[in-house]
Amino acid sequence: MATKAQHRLVRKTLVEGIRRNGERIFDISQRNAEGFVPVDRGILRQSGYVKNIRKGVIIGYKASHSARVEFGQPEFHYTGSKTVTIKKHTIHTKYGPRTIKTHDRIYVNKRVVRIRPRAGWNKEMIEKAYGVRIPGNVSRMTVYGTPIFVVMSRIPARPGQFFLTRAVLEGIKKLPEDMKQSLKRIGTVK
C-alpha cells in the first residue's frame, strides 16, 4: 500500500510532466516559420508566457491584439457621427495652389482611422489588407510606415489564425511521453 508521501511524490511528478508538456506547447506556438505565431513587428510573439500554477501550467499571450489574431474578428459597422477638425492646408489644382482654411467636417456612420502600414507596402497592399480605398498617390512606405488617415464606414472581418490552438493540438500528442519521462525519475511506484 502506498503512503501519503508516495502519493504526493507521484502527484508532484505528474504535475512536472504537465508543465514539461506546457513548455513544449509554448515552444511550438513560438515557431513562426511553420505558421504558428504570426510576426509583423514581433509584439505578439514577445508577449508570450508560461506560468506554473499549483496543478499545471498556463500558456498565454499578453498583447492586446492576441485574441483577435487567435480567434478572428467579426465585421464591425460604425454608427453615430464624428466631427473632425481639418487644419489649414494647401491643395494643388490645375489653376495653381489653393489654401484651404481650418474647418470642421462631420462624418456620419464613419470614422477617420489612422493606419500605419508595414514597411514596403504600396497602395494596393494597404487597400487589400484594410478593406479601404485610398485616394491619391501613396508611394512605398518608410521603415514603420507613414501614417495614413482613411475614412472608414466599417472594419472588415478577419478570420482567426488559431496559432495557439494548433500548437496545443500538436503538443498534446507528446503528453504521454512527457509524463513517462517525469515518472522515470521516481522509479517504480505501486
Closest by Cα among 185, 166, 7, 1 to 71: 166
Rounded Cα distance, 10 and 16, in Å = 10
Number of domains in the chain: 2
User: pLDDT value at position 113?
Assistant: 78
Q: Are residues 136 and 81 in the same domain?
A: yes
Asked whether residue 54 is assigned to any structural domain, the reply reads yes
pLDDT higher than threshold 60 for residue 80? yes
Mean pLDDT of 127-132: 74
Residue type, 62: K
Instruction: Name the β-bridge partners of 73.
Output: 158
User: pLDDT value at position 34?
Assistant: 76
Mean pLDDT of 32-43: 80
Q: Are residues 123 and 85 in the same domain?
A: yes
Asked whether residue 189 is assigned to any structural domain, the reply reads no
Convert the pLDDT of each residue in 60-73 to its tens digit. Answer: 999 999 999 999 98
Q: Are residues 87 and 149 in the same domain?
A: yes
Asked whether residue 133 is assigned to any structural domain, the reply reads yes
Mean pLDDT of 120-133: 75
Specify the higher pLDDT residue, 143 or 170: 170
Residue type, 163: F
**pTM for the structure as a whole:** 0.68
Q: Are residues 52 and 89 in the same domain?
A: no
Convert the pLDDT of each residue in 145-176 to its tens digit. Answer: 567 777 788 888 889 999 999 999 999 999 99
pLDDT higher than threshold 60 for residue 137? no
Q: Are residues 175 and 117 in the same domain?
A: no
Q: Are residues 85 and 146 in the same domain?
A: yes
